Structures are given as C-alpha cells and as structure tokens.
Amino acid sequence: MTSTRPDSKYITINNVRIRYFDWGTDGLPPLVCLHGHTGQARIWDEFAEAMRGSYHVYALDQRGHGESGYADDGYARDRFVEDLAAFVDALGLQKFTLAGLSMGGWHSLLYTADHPDRVERIVIVDIGPEPSEEAKAGASNRPSTPMEFPSLDDAFAWIRSSNPWASDERLMQDARDKIKQNPDGKWTWKADPRLFNTPLPDMSDPGLISRYWRALETIPCSILEVRGADSPLVSDEILDRMKSVANDLTSIDIPNAGHVVTVDKPAEFVEATRAFFKVTD
C-alpha cells in the first residue's frame, strides 16, 4: 500500500460533481488516470505514488463511481469522454498523458482520437477495441452481482471469489473504496446501481467497436497495452491486430494477474510501466 496521501478534491463538470485525487507535484507533466466499470480511483494508488516524482498525477472517480455524483444524463461512452474533456480544460492541462484501465482505456482512446494534439502517450490496461470470444462467452455465463451484503466481510468474500490474485490487504482496501454501509447496517456498492447487471454495449455494439478500432488507427502517440496474463479479455489475436493497425503500440503481460492489474499486482504493474513513462528512479 501507499505511504503518501493525495489531496481529495471535487469539481462540478457537465452537471456532475466529480471527486478526484491530486497527487502533485505542480510544474511536472500531467498524468490523468481513469478506472474501470463500477470501480474507483484508488486502484491507481501505488502507481500514482511511484509516478508522482515525475508527473503531476490526477486520478478521477468517473461519473456514477466512487464518491462522484450519479448522472441524470446517463453513462454512454460519450458522456464520460465529455467529462474527461471538461476536466482537463478546467484544470488547464494542455498536454498530458492518459492511463486508463478497462473502460477507462476506451475513454482514453475516444478522447485522444478527437484531441490528438493534447495527449503525450497512453497506457491502456487489459482492454481492447473488442473482446475475445472467450471473454464474450464468459460474460454471458457470469452470475448477477449482489447489490447488498450483510457485512463488509461478506462483500470481501464475494469479491475474492472471482479474484485469486490480489493480496488480502490490497483486495480489502479495494472493497472498502467501492463499498459503503447503508443506514440499516447493510453494505452496498458506491457506484450507481444502474451500472450493474446490464451488459456493456462495448462487448457487442458494432458501432462502438468500430470507433475503438478507428481510434487506434488514427492516434499518433505511443500506446502501451498492459494485460493481466490470466485475463481472457484481450486475446493474442486481438492484440496482434491492435499492433498492426496502431501507429506505435507495444504490450506487456503481467504474470499472475487478472483484469484489474493495478490491484492484483500493483508493484509489478509499476515496474512494467517505468520505461514507457520514462521513470527511472
């Protein structure tokens, strides 16, 4: 876990109150970090602490997630991308780096395709323009997510049932960061209930999938794809195609990690990305 605490701040953009963590340091190149679906910004803690000597790191709770507000106008991909655009403009970030895990990677691709002059480089974590056949089959067979738990330990046990990779300490911290206790004593997710138990359109919508592939084809900056070696989401076939269409895309696999690589193997993720981020100490 980290030894440094970031500043927790709020900003209202597009009529949604967004919580973000500001790791400093002023004057360094900006790095904006985006979590995945139903996640929260503290998945980046170890990475942000490691990078803060070289970057001014910002980690967002995206709309409907973590401590940010729920969104009346919904959760279409373009709403998230509009939030990212408004956030970097409000903070005056003219040129910056993006790190996006899962859906945060989708948002990073779509934003950069529309603003290629603003983004220095991108790391996308365990996500591609379309899912593998194995991932699609797994999604159709996945049981529903419970919306309430009798205790935090019960919530942890449910999260652990699908994650054998993260340490107990790191997984419990992730649970505490995305679960809240209701007045009746039961525990539920911080993320908007509308985000759960509904298939993501990105897994099957030809229009969205085409947009992600087009983004890869047009983005001029360097991209690093980091896969969890035990995650089925980005197959070798899809990764090879990504490398063939992108201007400059390299990849790294993290052993003994699933989808949320930054939680499953935070130290290994930091070490694997140091060269791409030009961090040597």
pLDDT confidence of residue 240: 98
In a domain, 196, yes or no: no
User: For the stretch 258-275, what's the b/e string if a residue is b when 16 or more beta carbons lie within 10 angstroms of its beta carbon?
Assistant: bbbbbbbbbebbbebbee
In a domain, 167, yes or no: no
Phi and psi torsions of 224, nearest 5°: -115, 125
In a domain, 256, yes or no: yes
Amino acid at position 112, single letter? T
pLDDT confidence of residue 53: 94
In a domain, 84, yes or no: yes
In a domain, 129, yes or no: yes
Assign 176 to helix, strand or coil. Answer: helix
Sheet of strand 56-60, all strands in order from the earlier edge strand to the far edge:
7-13, 16-22, 56-60, 30-34, 96-101, 119-125, 222-228, 249-254
In a domain, 186, yes or no: no
Number of domains in the chain: 1
Spans of the chain, pLDDT less than 70: 1-3, 281
122 within 8 A of 112, measured Cβ to Cβ: yes
Residue with tokens 């990690």: 257
In a domain, 87, yes or no: yes
pLDDT confidence of residue 125: 98
Residue 221 belongs to domain spanning: 7-138+201-273
Residue with tokens 């990475």: 47
CATH of residue 268? 3.40.50.1820
pLDDT confidence of residue 148: 97
pLDDT confidence of residue 222: 98
In a domain, 111, yes or no: yes
